[in-house]
Structures are given as C-alpha cells and as structure tokens.
C-alpha cells in the first residue's frame, strides 16, 4: 500500500472512530443502528423511577443482535426507542447512517418491521389479509400485494393457512403470521420482542430455524429481545445485557451468555432473567 494511501486510511479510521479489526470486514462497520448516549426517564420528578441511562450501541448491518435482561430491565423500552415509539430525552440515534430525529416517521417506519410481544393479529381478518395489511395501508396494487403475500406465505411455511382466522391458529402459527406481516414491507431491520415467550421448546427451535433462514436469504438485520439464553445463543452474533436501564455488557454472544450462566451458579437455570 502506498504511503499516501496508508495516511488516508488512518485519517479515515480516526474520523470514523472504529476498532481496528473492522478494516478487514466491511460489513461490520456499516452500523444499521447506532445509539449514542441515549437517555430516557419516564418520571423525572421521582428519583427512583425508571430510566434508560447512557445507552451506547452499534448494531451492524446484516447481523442478528440479541438483547437480554431481567423483567423490568428496560428491554422493551430500548426497543421502543429503536423503533421510534419512544423519543429519548437526550442522545443521538442513527439508522443506516442517517439521524432518526430528522427522518420523517413514514420514511423511518417503512424500513423496519416489528413483531410485538404476544404477536397481536387482527382477529376479524384471515391470515392472508393480516399479512397484506401493511401493503394495503401503503396503497400497493392488488397484483403486488398478491405476489408479495403469496411469496411470504411460502417462505414462512404457512401457505396452507392463508384462509384461516387467528382463532384457528396455534401460538407458533400466529407467530409466523406476525413475522410474515412484519416482513411484508421488505424492511431493513426486523425487531422481535420476546418472540418465544409463549412457545414450547419444539416450536421455539422451529422459529429459530426460520429466523436463521430469513437472515441467510436476504439483507436483513434482526434485533431480538429474549430472556431465553438458548434462543439468544442459537441465533445472535452479538448480544447486549441490560440491567436497570443500563447496558452492562455487550459483545460476542457466547461470551455474554457464558458470563450470565456463570453469574447464577447456585440457581442452575435462567429463571431469574425472565
Ligand atoms: N410509558 C411508560 N411510562 C412509565 N414507565 C414506563 C413506561 N414504559 C415502561 N416503563 C417502566 O420502565 C421499566 C422498564 O420496562 P420495560 O422496558 O418494559 O422492561 P422489560 O421489557 O425489560 O421487562 C419498568 O419499570 C416499566 O414500568
Ligand atoms: Mg419487555
């Protein structure tokens, strides 16, 4: 490498403030989500009230990122900040390099898909119409909606259920419909809040396999909140551990889950993380 090129690299590297290894892996330094010093307090007058404090987080493009923590730690609140449902009191949020604060809501929401906890579906609409909903709202053509929904039904493995209503579905099937609906708008990022909390072990592992397949098939960044160490371990490249509104550890998933397991030697299980 010519000397001038080396200088250029170091100037660039310095400006971007990135760890050294990213030079060798271009995907890694493309942050899909970048939270900088985010703070959010719900009741400012009460000192004991909950707050997200000094949240710094980078989620790389095309990665699967896990967020784990006890009940009440702030996982859903953090997800709500990342999905622009909760506005932080301070700090900056960049999505795909763009400041979210300045991004019109419509533009932002088109780039994300969310599977909420309990995966609520419209009970009076069948599976096809539930999945089609985001596209109907966007006034897409009938032809486009048909093609997109039928493709998703096949990809998610629920083709035979398209005329069924939510009351006729199992928990795992409802979950798949909710995932298909979240993907209908072809989002850059799929957020899932406790996607396996109501599923049995077998259905949970099927869901993990499906999410892995979806991730491998397209340019999709997945952010998954779960109390289940096995799910996080099987699915996520990197994971953040959140406690009392603070990120206390963040890194390669196996290292984080190992640290968590070792911090509960007497309990012998992960119930405390629920
Ligand atoms: N809109 C809100 N107003 C006031 N407090 C809230 C609000 N949303 C969440 N909280 C509080 O924030 C804390 C963290 O909640 P949450 O993010 O749902 O935790 P987790 O998802 O980790 O279980 C809880 O104490 C909860 O009561
Ligand atoms: Mg929650």
* Cα–Cα distance for residue pair 38/15, rounded to 1 Å: 21
Ligand 1 contacts CB of residue 74 (under 6 A): yes
Which residues, 6+ apart, have CB-to-CB distance to 118 below 8 Å? Answer: 198
pTM: 0.86
Residue 38 has pLDDT above 50, yes or no: yes
The predicted-structure confidence for 202-235, as pLDDT tens digits, reads as follows: 999 999 999 999 999 888 999 999 988 999 999 9
User: Quick check: 261 and 229 in contact, CB under 8 A?
Assistant: yes
Biggest CA–CA distance in the chain, Å, is 67
Residue nearest to atom 12 of ligand 1 (CA): 50
Mean pLDDT of 63-72: 95
pLDDT band per the 50, 70, 90 thresholds, residue 186: very high
Q: What is the pLDDT of residues 122-171, one digit of tens each?
A: 999 999 999 999 999 999 999 999 999 999 999 999 999 999 999 999 99
Using CA atoms, how far residue 105 sits from 33, 59, 87, 112, in Å, is 16, 21, 12, 11
User: In this predicted model, what pLDDT tens digit does every residue of 252-262 receive, in sequence order?
Assistant: 999 999 988 88
What pLDDT is stored for residue 187 in this prediction?
96
Q: Which numbered atom of ligand 1 lies nearest the CA of 78?
A: 17
Q: Does the Cβ of 227 fall within 6 Å of ligand 1?
A: no
Q: How confident is the model at residue 77 (pLDDT cuts 50, 70, 90)?
A: very high
């Amino acid at each position: 490498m010519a000397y001038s090129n080396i200088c250029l690299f170091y100037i660039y590297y310095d400006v971007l403030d990135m760890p050294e290894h990213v030079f060798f892996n271009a995907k890694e330094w493309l942050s899909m989500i970048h939270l900088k010093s985010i703070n959010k307090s719900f009741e400012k007058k009460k000192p004991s009230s909950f707050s997200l404090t000094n949240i710094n987080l980078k989620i790389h493009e095309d990665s699967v990122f896990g967020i784990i923590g006890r009940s009440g730690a702030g996982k859903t609140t953090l997800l709500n900040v990342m999905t622009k449902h909760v506005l932080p009191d301070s700090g900056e949020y960049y999505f795909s390099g763009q400041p979210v604060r300045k991004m019109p809501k419509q533009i932002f929401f088109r780039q994300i898909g969310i599977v909420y906890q309990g995966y609520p579906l419209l009970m009076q609409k069948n599976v096809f119409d539930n999945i089609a909903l985001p596209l109907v709202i966007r006034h897409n053509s009938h032809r486009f909606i048909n093609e997109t929904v039928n493709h998703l039904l096949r990809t998610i493995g629920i083709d035979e259920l398209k005329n069924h209503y939510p009351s006729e579905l199992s928990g795992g099937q409802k979950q798949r419909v909710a995932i298909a609906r979240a993907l209908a708008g072809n989002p850059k990022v799929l957020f899932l809040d406790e996607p396996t909390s109501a599923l049995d072990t077998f259905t949970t592992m099927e869901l993990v396999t499906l999410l892995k397949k979806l991730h491998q098939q397209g340019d999709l960044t997945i952010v998954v909140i779960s109390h289940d160490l096995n799910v996080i371990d099987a699915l996520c490249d990197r994971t953040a551990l959140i406690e009392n509104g603070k990120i206390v550890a963040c890194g390669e998933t196996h290292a984080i889950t190992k640290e968590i397991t070792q911090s509960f030697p007497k309990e012998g299980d992960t119930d405390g993380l629920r």
